[in-house]
């Protein structure tokens, strides 16, 4: 199964191409106008941040990001390595009369590993990305000239956790299982939360528990949404859709489409994706509504970013 995903994602890369595919097509302008580059982040307002702050009742802070290392499962060829140096201090040398010492580190790798936000330049269709931007016009080997993850505004708004695993009465969903529109509605009703414009909606499927138990299985498939679920959440005007899975889509795919939820949310609606969100503590505490805070790293030209979003209750 992973072989088919790799082939779908990497044919161009392995072939040595920089831009792929090149058969770009026109797309209708975004609801925010033909020059918009931030999509659903347009829903962000000071009022949303103030209302989110009002959800804080006991001040408990939940880190939703995972530690990342070279062993973190990732879709090939994504890898990452950390190297630590002591510049100018080799052989036991120190700096200055106070014999100061310091360490520096260097990261070499891909951005799409671990807990991450997918920017609007991450997924498109036939060489075109959000708001009709053609790869041939804005993608360069040194970074994208627009739609960069670095340009996503800070996100402070209401977060919602939909505990799909609890609703189904299971520890975790199985790979390939689809969270249906009816389930999204039923879980929200059962938890007493209403999905509103400007929300960040995160699914708890229990899948993340496999990361330590069986990392190979964790990375080889996942439960998730299909196009219908993605369209439903986009219709609610949410800012982002997240899950405790590495790719949001249900994998193996049910048909010959590839990451159709990515295409639906990012390309068609300008709705951000939050992947590999650590929902375990929120689910254990039964916290379904909270203040969500994210200020992603601002590496110019990137299409994704490794993140550690925060939930505050």
| 165-197 per-position pLDDT tens digit | 999 999 999 999 999 999 999 999 999 999 999
Residue 93 inside a domain? The answer is no
Instruction: Flag whether pLDDT at 6 surpasses 70.
Output: no
* Stretch 199-218: mean pLDDT: 96
Instruction: Flag whether pLDDT at 12 surpasses 50.
Output: no
Q: What is the mean pLDDT of the chain?
A: 92
pLDDT tier at 23 (50, 70, 90 boundaries)? low
Instruction: Flag whether pLDDT at 15 surpasses 70.
Output: no
Confidence (pLDDT) at 58: 96
pLDDT tier at 206 (50, 70, 90 boundaries)? very high
- Cis status, amide bond into 252, omega within 30 of 0: yes
Residue 41 inside a domain? The answer is yes
In angstroms, the Cα distances linking 89 to 86, 94, 134, 160, 231 are 6, 6, 48, 49, 56
CB 239 within 8 A of CB 264: no
Please calculate the CA angle 211-216-220 and round it to the nearest 5 degrees: 100
Residue 95 inside a domain? The answer is no
Residue 100 inside a domain? The answer is no
Residue 94 inside a domain? The answer is no
Residue 84 inside a domain? The answer is no
Residue 87 inside a domain? The answer is no
Residue 156 inside a domain? The answer is yes
Residue 44 in tokens:
């962000």
**What is the total count of domains within the chain?**
1
| 288-301 per-position pLDDT tens digit | 999 999 999 999 99
pTM for the whole structure: 0.90
Pairing label, strands 61-63, 80-85:
unpaired
pLDDT tier at 75 (50, 70, 90 boundaries)? confident
Range of the domain at 166: 2-79+106-312
In angstroms, the Cα distances linking 120 to 82, 146, 309 are 27, 9, 18
Q: What is the CATH number of the domain that holds 166?
A: 3.50.30.50
State percent of the chain over pLDDT 90.
88
């Amino acid at each position: 199964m992973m072989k088919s995903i790799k082939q779908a994602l990497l044919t161009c890369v392995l072939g040595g191409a920089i831009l792929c595919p090149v058969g770009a097509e026109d797309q209708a302008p975004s609801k925010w106008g033909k020059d918009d580059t931030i999509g659903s982040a347009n829903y962000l307002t000071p009022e949303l941040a103030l209302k989110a702050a009002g959800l804080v009742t006991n001040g408990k802070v939940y880190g939703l990001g995972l530690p990342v290392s070279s062993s973190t499962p990732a879709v090939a060829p994504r890898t990452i390595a950390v190297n630590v140096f002591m510049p100018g201090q080799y052989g036991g040398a120190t700096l200055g009369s106070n014999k100061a010492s310091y360490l520096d580190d260097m990261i070499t790798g891909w951005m799409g590993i671990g807990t991450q936000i997918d920017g609007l330049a991450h997924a498109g269709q036939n060489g075109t990305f959000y708001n009709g931007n053609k790869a041939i016009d804005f993608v360069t080997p040194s970074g994208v000239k627009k739609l960069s993850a670095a340009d996503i505004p800070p996100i402070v708004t209401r977060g919602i956790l939909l505990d799909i695993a609890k609703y189904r009465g299971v520890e975790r969903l199985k790979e390939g299982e689809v969270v249906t529109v009816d389930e999204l509605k039923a879980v929200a009703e059962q938890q007493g939360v209403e999905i509103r414009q400007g929300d960040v909606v995160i699914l708890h499927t229990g899948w993340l528990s496999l990361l330590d138990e069986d990392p190979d299985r964790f990375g080889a498939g996942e439960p998730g949404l299909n196009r219908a679920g993605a369209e439903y959440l986009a219709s609610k005007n949410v800012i982002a859709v997240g899950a405790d899975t590495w790719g949001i889509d249900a994998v193996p795919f049910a048909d010959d489409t590839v990451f159709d939820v990515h295409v639906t949310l990012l390309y068609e609606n300008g709705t951000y994706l939050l992947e590999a969100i650590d929902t375990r503590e929120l689910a254990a505490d039964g916290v379904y509504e909270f203040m969500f805070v994210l200020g992603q790293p601002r590496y110019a030209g990137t299409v994704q970013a490794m993140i550690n979003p925060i939930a505050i209750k």
